[in-house]
Every structure is written in C-alpha cells, then in structure tokens.
Amino acid sequence: MPILQPPVVDNPDGLIPVNPMIEHYMYTLTEQFDHPILDEMEAFARVRNFPIVGRLVGISLEILAKMIGAHRVFEFGSGYGYSAYWFGKAVGPDGQIVCTDSNPVNQERAEQYLAAVGIWERVKFCTGYAQDIFAQTDGMFDICYNDADKGGYPDIWRMAKERIRPGGLYIADNVLWRGRVAVDGSADIKPGWTEAIREHNQLICKDPEFDAFINPTRDGVIVARRKMA
C-alpha cells in the first residue's frame, strides 16, 4: 500500500465532493490491486504533481469496462498511460486502447510502464490533438474516455457520442471540478473551464440516447451508457 497517511488536500473553498478521510478509507481497501508498476506510476504522479485519475477511479474504469465486455476504448488525454493501465487490464489480449496525448514525452513513459505489465501491445498511442486523432480514427468504440483539457469537453462529448456502440459507455473525469460546478464565482484554473464542464454535464444528462450518472469519487466521474436501439 503506497500511501498509508491521509492525503494533504488543497481545498481552499471547502468544495471537494467527498471527504478526503473517506476517500482515504476507500483507498485502504484497494490492496488487491497493488502492483509494483502501478505503485511506480502513482509515485511519479505524486512527485511531479501530474493529474492522473487515481486508484479509486482507475479501479472503477477497469470494472466498468469488464462489465460491458469492452474491447475497444478511445482515450482523449492519456497522460503517461495511467488510465490506460486500467482499461488495458480489462480489454484482454485482443483488445485495443487508442491513447492520445499532445506531449510526446508522455508516450515514451507510457510505453515503459505499460510494456512492463504486458499491456503495451494492446495500446495504439498517438501523439497530437486528441480531437483530430479521433476524427482520423475509424470505427465504433465500446468506451470513449475523456480526460483532456476541460474547455473542449462539450465538443468531445458531441463527437464521441455518435461513435459509442449501443450499450457502450462515455466516461469523463473531473466533471465536478473540485466543486466549482456547484457554486458561482469560484476562481477557475483557466477561464471558461467551469462553464464548459457545466455545459458538458447538461448535454449528457439531457441526452435522450443516453442514461447517465455522476460518481462523486475524487473529482467526479460521469458515466453515460448509450441506450440499446
């Protein structure tokens, strides 16, 4: 178990959806997922302050993917492969995760980690703008996972929703944005991002072709299932 102490949390507005002590408790129940490479990936994120999705959400990604028998996943914003680690375990040897990231250094790091756990051959990692790569990639997906820059969330939803198979999932991280979506006037990281996330969440929750819910763990994860025809 890499972290036994409760995390120090930057929460100036007091808006974090789930009490960090409760998340810490949940974290203590994840020991069966321990793996030396996973620990390394998490340690790297702590040292570099890199915004990985985290173990609690990672586990939910793997389980959701297994529950729908996912084989093909598209990730908007893969970082160095932490979320792909979880999807990679779920899709099995014949599965594929299309990873995207604008920073080529992340691809190199993802290859090191994911090769070490035997998942790299399931990954097609494309460096560039995720929305362009998606448009250039053919076919339908079992899961489209969105963790890119938040200003692009509404457009990513619009493009992704058409290419999720019936029964498949759209999943997006950070949809509660440390609680900023729930209050007016919070200081934002980048202008317009809170508004973009709000629009994104509204679009999804009003879409008649999908059923959706938000898991408030960590920074909030929306899960939307495309209804069967």
Minimum Å distance from CB 218 to ligand SAM? 10
- Residue 219 binding ligand SAM, by CB under 6 A: no
State the Cα–Cα distance between residues 192 and 198, nearest whole angstrom: 10
Q: Which of 23, 70, 78, 225 binds ligand SAM (CB under 6 A)?
A: 78
- Residue 147 binding ligand SAM, by CB under 6 A: yes
| CB closer to ligand SAM out of 23 and 101 | 101
The answer to whether 172 touches 74, Cβ cutoff 8 Å, is no
State the Cα–Cα distance between residues 29 and 40, nearest whole angstrom: 19
- Residue 77 binding ligand SAM, by CB under 6 A: yes
State the Cα–Cα distance between residues 229 and 221, nearest whole angstrom: 25
- Residue 98 binding ligand SAM, by CB under 6 A: no
Minimum Å distance from CB 100 to ligand SAM? 5
Tell me, residue by residue from 35 to 74, as one string, x for binding to ligand SAM by CB under 6 A and - for no binding. Answer: ----------------xxx---------------------
Q: How many residues does the chain have?
A: 229
State the Cα–Cα distance between residues 80 and 165, nearest whole angstrom: 27
- By CB under 6 A, the count of residues binding ligand SAM is 20
- Distant-in-sequence, close-in-space partners of 108: CB < 8 Å, separation ≥ 6: none
Classify the C-alpha dihedral 71-76-77-83 as positive or negative: negative
Instruction: Locate 45 and state its tokens.
Output: 């994120």
- Residue 101 binding ligand SAM, by CB under 6 A: yes
Query: CB 158: neighbour CB atoms within 10 A?
Result: 11
| CB closer to ligand SAM out of 106 and 215 | 106
Residues that bind ligand SAM (CB under 6 A): 51-53, 77-79, 82-83, 100-103, 106, 129-131, 147-149, 152
